[in-house]
Amino acid sequence: MRVSTIFKKCLGNRNFILGSSMVGLMVLLMVVGFFYMPYDPDAMDTEHTLEFFSSQHLLGTDQFGRDVLSRIMEGTRVSFLVGALTVVFGLLVGGAIGSLAGYYGGKVDEVIMKLIDTQMAFPGVLLALMLIAVFGNSIQNLILALGVMSIPRFARISRSGFIKYRDAEFIKAARSRGAGDGRIIFLHILPNIVPELIVTSSLGFAGAVMSEAGLSYLGLGIQPPTPSFGKMLSEAQGEILKAGWYVLVPALAITLLVMGFNLIGDALQEVTEHGR
Amino acid sequence: MAKYYIRKVAGFLVTLFLVSLLTFAVFQILPGNPALVILGVDADPAQIQQLEDEMGLDKPIPLRFLEWVGGLLRGDLGTSYRYHQPVSQLIGNAFGVTVQLAVFALILTALVGIPVGIWLSHHSKKPYALPVSMLSQLGLSVPAFCFSVLLINIFSVQLGWLPSMGYTPFSQDPVACLKSLTLPSVAIAFGSAAVLIRYVKVSVIQQEHQDYVKTAQSKGVPARKILRSHVLRNSLIPVLTIFGMTITDVLGGSIIIENVFSLPGIGKLVSTSINSRDLPLIQGLVLYLAIIVVVCNFLVDVLYSVIDPRIRLK
């Protein structure tokens, strides 16, 4: 299917429109934040703490009187950075080992799948927590931990793609013309599984944003004073009796991103599958 | 048939071994001296030396792994540095809370997920099903800890019906115990029920397109009976595997949710042990949770082959 038809179909898909508006809103907040922010996100103002939404502070102020909107704007950077790098890591590493397993099959496949299954035994953020416990707490280690966590997802999808195509007629034809493994893997099979990989990336992005927020909520992710949605959520929870609205802001920001990428992923899956 | 089970058990044992090897290995690549990491840079050298001896850091790694596995088999996971108690005892104390939370959440998941999934398989195109579909889409996308703060905000802060944190043991006050577990369980079940709904729905719809359904219809079997005695039995088989996945989800979810609601379970212990760099405790907890997942998946696999004997032939 051609890219332009996929794009046209996406525009007619309700989930895609909804999802990309959610993500688009957050992207807008991030991009605008690079040029203009209403306040310095770290500037404290002890006379105006935990104020409700107003024309001065559109999303109110936090327990130190910092402007919540500005902090959300800066927080989007962390989310997008962590999400994007995690997906790139998972795509490269998971995609590579999944392709090897699917293409070569046999013993290689068995060993790789056994390792992937072993990794899947660590529920939720546990694996990331273990890696952070060992390597220490920093944004590089956080991305590494989330990246490792996302490997099975990418490995499985590319493995099944390679299994589907490795014995196809056009692959046999290419092989009989003398194409080597590298050429077949990269030029003949990989382009065919790009749609699946894009869907997985979108869902993986949502997963990474959610895990980062969860770990930061636990105090084991992004460290203050860098604003991160998860950290803001846990700070806001501490003030829930005084300012119940405040928890809703970071919770909504996380939800918009996670849901947006999930919806885009679902929509792309629907669109690309129908075309076949 | 015996061959099938032997293969399954062998695979199960290999996975258990790999899980423990991985858990052990990760803690060996710890940068720097573990004793120093635990005690801090300004610790007394004599203390560090003592801890190194205790941990057996001077022994070769394979030997330490064997000793560690040997301890595991005897139920000895070492001693926590922070609590000065055996790790197995700490885990045992916290385990009860997590089990209660997980069971409560799983019951809610099944009670909501299965009937709603079946209902949606017939009504999903109708306008009145839209709110239900939207709720389940929300369940798939709203992170459980975000949903929790919303629940706390409504049911604890605004209405004051349920506690926002803390745990009351069942033996002390059963009603208060259920109350303290209600919000966390609902928060976890919201997401996992949504996943279950999706699978049940797809599975039922798939089964209804099978030939045996057409046969039953042409024989004049009432629709209700077809659903009950033919379709459901077949469509719930794949759902069982999903339920295995749900157990993993619930356990994974409880790590963060227990912290949101300050429940003294395994998840809370995980985060405190990481914050205090209590390595033996972290190692024990990680291994413990992973083993539970592996055992549950194994049991689901076996159950699956009992319900659907065709699996054993593949």
**DSSP secondary structure of A26-71:** HHHHHHHHHH--SS-TT---TTS-SPPS-SSSTT-B-TT--BHHHH
With beta carbons less than 8 A apart as the criterion, state whether B307 and B240 touch: yes
Contacts of A258 in chain B (CB under 8 A): 141-143
The verdict on a CB contact (< 8 Å) between A217 and B259 is: yes
Q: Which of residues 248-267 of B touch A (CB under 8 A)?
A: 248-249, 251-253, 255-256, 259-260
The verdict on a CB contact (< 8 Å) between A240 and B297 is: no
With beta carbons less than 8 A apart as the criterion, state whether B238 and B199 touch: yes
Concatenate the DSSP letters of all residues of B52-63 into one string. HHHHTTTS-HHH
Most confident of A207-211, A233-237, B8-12, B200-204: A207-211
The number of C-alpha atoms within 13 Å of B239 and in the hemisphere containing its C-beta is 29
| Collapsed DSSP state (helix, strand, coil) of residue A107 | helix
* pLDDT tens digits, A40-66: 777 777 777 777 777 777 777 777 778
SS3 content of chain B, % helix, strand, coil (to 5): 80, 0, 20
B15 in contact with A, Cβ within 8 Å: yes
Question: Among partner residues B146, B255, B297, which is closest to A126 by beta-carbon distance?
Answer: B255
The proportion of chain A whose per-residue pLDDT surpasses 90, expressed as a percent, equals: 19
* Angstrom distance (rounded) from CA B184 to CA B253: 10
Contacts of A255 in chain B (CB under 8 A): 141-143, 146
For B243-274, b/e burial (b = at least 16 CB within 10 A) is bbbbbbbbbbbbbbbbbbbebbbbbbbbbbbb
In the predicted structure, residue B213 carries a pLDDT above the cut 90: no
A141 in contact with B, Cβ within 8 Å: no
* pLDDT tens digits, A262-274: 989 888 888 887 5
Contacts of B155 in chain A (CB under 8 A): none
Torsion angle of the four alpha carbons B300, B306, B307, B311, in this order, in degrees rounded to the nearest 10:
90
Contacts of B256 in chain A (CB under 8 A): 124-125, 214, 217-218
Tokens matching residue A22:
């959610």
Average pLDDT over residues B281-295: 87
Instruction: Find tokens 């062998």 and name the residue.
Output: B10
The proportion of chain B whose per-residue pLDDT surpasses 70, expressed as a percent, equals: 94
* pLDDT tens digits, B79-121: 777 787 888 888 888 888 888 888 889 899 989 988 888 888 8
Instruction: Place A150 in a pLDDT band, splitting at 50, 70 and 90.
Output: very high
CB pairs under 8 A between A and B: 133
Instruction: Place A143 in a pLDDT band, splitting at 50, 70 and 90.
Output: very high
pLDDT at position A166 is: 84
* ipTM of model: 0.81
Q: Which of residues 122-181 of B touch A (CB under 8 A)?
A: 138, 140-143, 145-146, 149-150, 152-153, 157-158, 164
Nearest chain B Cα distance for residue A236, angstroms? 9
Rg (CA), chain A: 22
Those residues whose C-beta lies under 8 Å from the C-beta of residue B251, and which sit 6 or more positions away, are: A123, A124, B98, B102, B289, B292, B293
* Angstrom distance (rounded) from CA B10 to CA B3: 10
In the predicted structure, residue A216 carries a pLDDT above the cut 80: yes
With beta carbons less than 8 A apart as the criterion, state whether A245 and A60 touch: yes
The number of C-alpha atoms within 13 Å of A101 and in the hemisphere containing its C-beta is 23
DSSP designation for B100: H
Tokens matching residue B246:
């749900």
Average pLDDT over residues B130-154: 84
The verdict on a CB contact (< 8 Å) between B152 and A240 is: yes
Region for residue B222 given its phi and psi (left: phi exceeds 0; alpha: psi -120 to 50; beta: otherwise): beta
With beta carbons less than 8 A apart as the criterion, state whether B139 and B194 touch: yes
Question: Among partner residues B15, B26, B149, which is closest to A130 by beta-carbon distance?
Answer: B26
pLDDT at position B171 is: 74
Contacts of B80 in chain A (CB under 8 A): none
The verdict on a CB contact (< 8 Å) between B274 and A220 is: yes
* Angstrom distance (rounded) from CA A48 to CA A61: 7
The verdict on a CB contact (< 8 Å) between A237 and B149 is: yes
Question: Among partner residues B142, B145, B152, which is closest to A217 by beta-carbon distance?
Answer: B145
Sign of CA dihedral B118, B191, A91, A16: positive
Instruction: Place A1 in a pLDDT band, splitting at 50, 70 and 90.
Output: low
CA A164 to chain centre: 26
With beta carbons less than 8 A apart as the criterion, state whether B81 and B238 touch: no
With beta carbons less than 8 A apart as the criterion, state whether A233 and A250 touch: yes
Question: Among partner residues A125, A213, A258, which is closest to B255 by beta-carbon distance?
Answer: A125
pLDDT at position A224 is: 77
pLDDT at position A92 is: 94
* pLDDT tens digits, A241-256: 777 788 888 888 999 9
Question: Among partner residues A122, A130, A218, which is closest to B282 by beta-carbon distance?
Answer: A130
The dihedrals phi and psi of B86, each to the nearest 5 degrees, come to -60, 140
The proportion of chain A whose per-residue pLDDT surpasses 70, expressed as a percent, equals: 97
Instruction: Place B32 in a pLDDT band, splitting at 50, 70 and 90.
Output: low
